[in-house]
Amino acid sequence: FRFKDSLAEDLQSADLVISHAGAGSCLETLEKGKPLIVVINDKLMDNHQLELAKQLHRDGYVLYCNCSTLVETLQSMDLSALKPFPPGQPEKFASFLDKVFGLQ
């Protein structure tokens, strides 16, 4: 896609999402309960996308590959092996911040 204000409608109708490993893209897709294949860009400085992709894969939430292994990943994928991503708990973070700043 070129830039879009929101991918929410596209995500809602998707059966499978193939995305780069940006944290926002990954989390938004996983929060919608959609299976996700993360394609890392191994040319990025410090390759932070690889770190995120590997951790999400170790936790059982995504499959990951690079551009050269995408076709192989699609042919061998078992989406039933992926675990549902747990819902966020923003109230815990808000409570933590309240404690740190002495608001509680």
Q: Name the residue ranges covered by the structural domains of the chain.
A: 5-99
The structural architecture, per CATH, of the domain 5-99 is: 3-Layer(aba) Sandwich (3.40)
Task: Give the residues across from 17 on adjacent strands.
Answer: 36
| Cβ atoms within 10 Å, residue 27 | 15
Compute, in degrees rounded to 10, the torsion defined by CA atoms 44, 62, 24, 29. 140
For residue 86, the model assigns a pLDDT of: 93
Tell me the C-alpha distance between 68 and 93, whole Å.
Answer: 39
Q: Kindly give the parts of the chain with pLDDT less than 70.
A: 45
pTM of the model: 0.82
For residue 45, the model assigns a pLDDT of: 66
Average pLDDT over the chain, rounded to whole?
91
